[in-house]
Every structure is written in C-alpha cells, then in structure tokens.
Amino acid sequence: MDQLQPYLNLAAAQQYLPVLGKLLPRAVKYLGLFVLALNLPSLPFGWHVRVFSPLFHLRFRFFLFRLSLLLHSRQERKKAKDKWLENLSPIGESPFEKTITYHAWAGIDDCDFNLHLSNSCYPKILDCARFKAALAYFPTFLRAGGWIALGATHFNFIREIPIFSPYQVRMSIASWDNKWMFLVIRFVTFPKKTKGSDKKAHSSKTPPTATTDGPPFLSLHTPASGLTTPSPALVSAPAPAPTSTGIPGAAAAMRALAAQTTEPDGATLNCLSVNELVFKHGRITVPPALVLAGDGFAAPPPDADLAAGARPFSAANPPPHWAAVQALLRAGGVRGVSEFIRGGWRDVPEGGRWWEAALGGAVEAQRAANYELVKGVRRGMEGAREVVQGA
C-alpha cells in the first residue's frame, strides 16, 4: 500500500489540474489589467490626454453654451458669445493674486524605487500644470494666435512626496521684464493628521545625521523625508553671497523664494520651481506687460479711492485700460488683436501705452521687488554657463 501512495497522490493532483488551468489564466489576466490600470497615465497618448484635458473641458463648456443659444437670433448669439469669451479673462485682477492649482497624485509610474515622486517626473507634471495656467491667465492672447515658450526651469527640492500621496501644483506670477515672465510654482502636500500631531508640531525635531553606528549602507534617498513642516535650515534665506554685480546666486535666490513662500492653508512645501517664459506670436516676441494687460490684469485702485468708496476692479467694473482692449476687438476682432501684438503696439507713443499704465502703482512696485529675487536664479545659471564655457 505504501508503494501505491505516490501514484494515488499524483492521481489526486491531476484531478485539480483542469481547475488550475482555468483559474491561472484568469488570475494572470486580472493581475495584468491591475498593473495596466496603475500605469494608465504613462500609456501611449496618456501624456497628451493629461496636458490637453483642460482644453477639452473648456471646449465642451463652450459647446454646451452654444447649444443653449440655438433659439436666439444671430446678433444675440454673437453678443452672448463675445461676452462668454470675455469673461474667461481675469479682468481687473492683480497678476500677483491669481493662483492656479493643478491636482495630481504620486502614482506608481511617477515614483522611483525609494517609493516617492521621482525628481525626473516634476517637469512632466509641470507640462500639464502650465497648460492649465496658460488657459486661465491668457485666453485672449492664445485666441489671437499667441503661444508661450519655456526658456528655463529651476527646481529646489525641499521634501519628498511619498508614493500614492495626493499633491497640488500651485502656480503664480512672480515678475517680468521686457522679454521674460517668471512663474513661481509650488508642489505642496497636506500632512496626515495623527494622534499627538499637535504636540509634535510644537516640539523640535532633530534632523538625521550622516553618520550612524550601523553598517554603511548605500542610500539614494533625498535629504528630506516625511511630510512635516520643513526645518528652518531648509528654507531659511541667508544673505546672498556677494558678487560683482550684487545679484544673488541661483541657490541663494531659490532659498530666498522658499523662505518667502507660505501656504495660507498650512500645506507643506515640497518643491519650489521657477519657470522662465517668453510670449511669442509666430517668431515675434511680445512684451509680457502687453499680454498681461491685454487679458485684463491691472493694478488695484489706490487705497485713497477705495477708502472713498470706489469699487475694486472686476468684470462688472473693469479697469480703465479695458476700453482700449475692447476697441481692438470691436475694430478687428481677434485678428485685430493679433496684428496689434505682432507689432502694432510699437506705433503707440510712449505716453499712450495703456498696458504700461494698467500695471503701474502697487503692481509695478511688487514686480520690481520680486524681480530682485527671480533674476538671481537666472543670473546664477548664466554664471554656471560661463564657468562651463571657460573651462
């Protein structure tokens, strides 16, 4: 009987082979579909869908709006359409007070083997975020055939974003000159609330040291970890190193920007980025001030006027220069705006350039103050280029 036992066990196992043959392919199929779903954003055309989804959403809204006007006359439809498109512009807002937020999460396809968002994926996420910001900031400029070129991107990685963590990309205009506009972008997360988190928030946390008593293992983690508020050593803004031009270096400028960046809702700043953008129409460079004012951005009324009862600027109470933009649209439509930004603005005399007056006062003062910080980033990188070329 003992000699027959192996044959009996083999016969019993063979009874389950048909069942395993049916279950195993199904399990492999579901596992493959699960892995595919986790990496869905990185499939072919996944990047294009993510980048252009704000445009698809805007187009769908416009389609529904046009459907609602089918029973109206042609004149009424044109008037309503022009008003709908005009309301897309941030009329009367200060360029420094409008923040655009892009929501994302650290999926498997965007994370490295350290189980946090890979540094190489930050620029990929910015492609999606910047396109959403462009549609919100400059709808009239884009309708007129303009486009925005990316000149440079600078990153300051402060704290890692763990895998599967939701995070936000917050974009705001920092400053501009006659050619470049500087966009400050913050990657932020929200710490998980745990028991005793309030006590930990008030207690000092000793930063990890490079030497330990354990064996020397290779570590490729970023210097910061976790989701707690960055320590002062990471975001403090020391006095910039003196240079021949008096402009702070790139690293010092990024630290200064990080120190001045506070999130009103208590979010943790994980990464700070400065983007240099240039406005183009064909191959012609368009001044940033013209683009900003052409989409309705303006300095707020003086404090004395507000104290006297003046209303803040808005679409219902547009700034004075908006009449000039409407005159361009009435005279030649979007084509008229296109011809103006391609070079027609040069024919306007110095005293009549409404886009410069629209961004004067408090806006100009803040632009100049912010420019002292962001130009340090640019000059620091230009200095690095000179070092490489001179080597």
Residue 213 domain-assigned (yes or no) = no
- Is residue 251 a part of any domain in this protein? yes
* DSSP H helix total and E strand total for the chain: 13, 6
Q: Is residue 366 part of a domain?
A: yes
User: Do 287 and 177 form a contact (C-beta atoms < 8 A)?
Assistant: no
d(CA 46, CA 312): 42
| Full residue range of the structural domain in which residue 311 is found | 87-191+224-390
H or E element in which residue 84 lies: helix 74-86
Kindly tell me if the per-residue pLDDT of 97 is higher than 60: yes
pLDDT, tens digit, for every residue of 107-132? 989 999 899 999 999 999 999 999 99
- Does 133 map to a domain? yes
CB 225 within 8 A of CB 345: no
DSSP state of 146: -
Q: Tell me, yes or no, whether 17 lies in a domain.
A: no
Q: What is the pLDDT of residue 92?
A: 95
Q: Which of 227-231, 317-321, 346-350, 367-371 has the lowest mean pLDDT?
A: 227-231
In 10 A of CB 123, how many CB atoms? 13
Is residue 211 situated within a structural domain? no
CA 347 distance to own-chain centroid: 35
What are the backbone dihedrals phi and psi of residue 302, each rounded to the nearest 5 degrees, phi first? -60, 150
Domain assignment of residue 342, yes or no: yes
Q: What is the pLDDT of residue 258?
A: 67
Q: What pLDDT, on the 0 to 100 scale, is given for residue 311?
A: 92
CATH code for the domain in which residue 337 is found? 3.10.129.10
pLDDT digits (tens, 9 = 90+) for 183-235: 999 999 998 776 555 555 444 444 444 333 443 333 344 444 444 444 433 33
Distance (Å, whole) CA 83 – CA 235: 45
Coil/strand/helix, residue 187: strand
Count up the domains in the chain and report the number: 1
- 181's CB contacts (< 8 A; 6+ apart) are 173, 175, 276, 277, 278, 279, 288, 291
Does the residue 130 lie in any domain? Answer: yes
Distance separating alpha carbons of residues 330 and 336, to the nearest angstrom = 9
